[in-house]
């Protein structure tokens, strides 16, 4: 076993950045985790074993990457910043189970990269410290990429984590909550203060654990279902009925179809979208499709 480098300490992180003449780049949303206790909790949340293949998104200078490599069989680190790639390749060279790829996770075929790197492997685990300004697009990209995965552990802005895990009927519950619930069981795992990073972000963070959901929902185009959810949340203070009328029209035939669909889904027309769970949205979606209501995909 390689002697620990303990990259993710405040002094070691700063020393590495200084030696390469680097600083965190705002355009990439870089904040380097410098708290080994938080990293240990991330590792625990991922429940890693020496048989696991791990995809890490946004490794930075490799503080978390190193600890992943010490626990897992192999780590594929995906980094967009070429300067960070150079640091990773230099600093983590003692580890022969780390591969660093310079690419944008939003545009790359991650499934193809995994197959080229590892061939046919069991379900991977995904660990990510995501740039806060593109957390949702990256999450959706990962969930819709057709990957075989069994756990995602993701660092994100605390506010976004609260929205992902919000109960029905709360002000945080919304479109993002429903979309995530379609794909995964979501759990708030670790609260992370701003002081755990260099530089410290202006907001607190949280680690969220996602596990794939085996559900009965048969939707060829999930975007159609999500567009219905967006319609229902278009004006949060308006009733579901008013939002649906605004989207689909107010003539008598449309009203009749909407009334029938809501009854079929056992949804009261006068309630707001924040009181409707995924199951009811799904039933409403099916009922509207049966009424030949057209959806944007």
Per-residue model confidence as pLDDT tens digits over 71-113: 999 999 999 999 999 999 999 999 999 999 999 999 999 999 9
pLDDT over 70 percentage in the chain: 99
Is residue 190 domain-shared with residue 238, that is, in the same domain? Answer: no
> Is residue 243 part of an annotated ligand binding site?
no
Q: Is the peptide bond before 199 cis (omega within 30 degrees of 0)?
A: yes
Question: Residue 143 pLDDT more than 80?
Answer: yes
How many structural domains compose the chain?
A: 2
> Is residue 227 part of an annotated ligand binding site?
no
Say how far apart CA 30 and CA 11 lie, in whole Å: 17
Average pLDDT over residues 247-256: 92
Is residue 201 domain-shared with residue 230, that is, in the same domain? Answer: no
Question: Residue 7 pLDDT more than 50?
Answer: yes
Mean pLDDT of the residues in the chain: 95
Structure tokens at 187: 């759990």
pLDDT over 90 percentage in the chain: 90
Is residue 168 domain-shared with residue 258, that is, in the same domain? Answer: no
Is residue 115 domain-shared with residue 63, that is, in the same domain? Answer: yes
Say how far apart CA 152 and CA 127 lie, in whole Å: 6
Asked whether 68 and 89 are in contact (CB, 8 A), the reply is no
> Is residue 31 part of an annotated ligand binding site?
yes
In a domain, 1, yes or no: no
Kindly compute the dihedral angle of the four CA atoms of residues 161, 163, 166, 171, in this order, to the nearest 10 degrees. 140
Is residue 127 domain-shared with residue 149, that is, in the same domain? Answer: yes
> Is residue 33 part of an annotated ligand binding site?
yes
Average pLDDT over residues 184-208: 97
In a domain, 4, yes or no: no
Residue 274 pLDDT class (50, 70, 90 cuts): very high
Q: Which residues, in sequence order, are CB contacts of 187 under 8 Å at separation 6+? A: 165, 208, 209, 210
Is residue 121 domain-shared with residue 262, that is, in the same domain? Answer: no
Is residue 177 domain-shared with residue 250, that is, in the same domain? Answer: no
Per-residue model confidence as pLDDT tens digits over 146-165: 999 999 999 999 999 999 99
Say how far apart CA 161 and CA 182 lie, in whole Å: 16
In a domain, 89, yes or no: yes
> Is residue 129 part of an annotated ligand binding site?
yes
Asked whether 95 and 62 are in contact (CB, 8 A), the reply is no
Say how far apart CA 153 and CA 192 lie, in whole Å: 14
Structure tokens at 293: 């209501």
**Backbone phi, psi, residue 162, to 5°:** -65, -35
Alpha helices per DSSP H over 49-102: 63-71, 82-91
> Is residue 270 part of an annotated ligand binding site?
no
Domain stop point among 184, 212, 240: 212
End-to-end Cα distance, the chain: 50
**Backbone phi, psi, residue 279, to 5°:** -60, -45
Q: Which residues, in sequence order, are CB contacts of 52 under 8 Å at separation 6+? A: 71, 72, 73, 124, 125
> How wide is the angle at C-alpha 83 spanned by C-alphas 87 and 133, nearest 5°?
110
Is residue 117 domain-shared with residue 176, that is, in the same domain? Answer: yes
- pTM (predicted TM-score): 0.92
* Rg, the chain, Cα only: 22
CATH code, 277: 1.10.8.100
Per-residue model confidence as pLDDT tens digits over 26-48: 999 999 999 999 999 999 999 99
Residue 295 pLDDT class (50, 70, 90 cuts): low
Question: Residue 198 pLDDT more than 50?
Answer: yes
In a domain, 3, yes or no: no
In a domain, 115, yes or no: yes
In a domain, 297, yes or no: no
Question: Residue 297 pLDDT more than 80?
Answer: no
Pairing of strands 184-192, 205-212: antiparallel
Q: Which domain holds residue 153?
A: 10-212
């Amino acid at each position: 076993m390689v002697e620990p480098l303990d990259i993710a300490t405040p002094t070691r992180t700063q020393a590495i950045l200084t030696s390469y003449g680097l600083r965190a780049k705002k355009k990439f949303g870089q904040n380097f985790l410098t708290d080994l206790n938080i990293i240990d909790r991330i590792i625990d949340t991922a429940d890693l074993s020496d048989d696991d293949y791990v995809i890490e998104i946004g490794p930075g200078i490799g503080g978390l990457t190193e600890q992943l490599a010490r626990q897992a069989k192999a780590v594929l680190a995906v980094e967009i910043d070429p300067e960070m790639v150079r640091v990773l390749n230099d600093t983590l060279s003692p580890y022969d189970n780390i591969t660093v790829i310079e690419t944008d996770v939003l545009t790359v075929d991650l499934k193809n990269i995994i197959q080229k790197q590892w061939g046919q492997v069991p379900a991977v685990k995904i660990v990510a410290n995501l740039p806060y300004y593109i957390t949702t697009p990256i999450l959706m990209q990962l969930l819709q990429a057709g990957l075989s995965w069994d756990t995602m552990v993701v660092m994100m802005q605390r506010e976004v984590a609260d929205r992902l895990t919000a109960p029905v009927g709360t002000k945080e519950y919304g479109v993002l909550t429903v979309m995530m619930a379609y794909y995964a069981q979501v759990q708030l795992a670790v609260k992370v203060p701003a002081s755990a990073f260099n530089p410290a972000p202006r907001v607190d963070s949280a680690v969220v654990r996602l596990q794939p959901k085996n559900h009965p929902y048969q939707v060829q185009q999930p975007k159609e279902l999500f567009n219905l959810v967006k319609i229902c949340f278009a004006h949060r203070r308006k009733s579901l009925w008013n939002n649906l009328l605004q989207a689909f029209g107010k003539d008598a035939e449309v009203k009749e179809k909407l009334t029938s669909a809501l009854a079929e889904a056992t949804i009261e027309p006068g309630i707001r979208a924040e009181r409707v769970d995924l199951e009811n949205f799904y039933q409403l979606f099916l009922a509207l499709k049966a009424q030949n209501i057209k959806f944007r995909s």
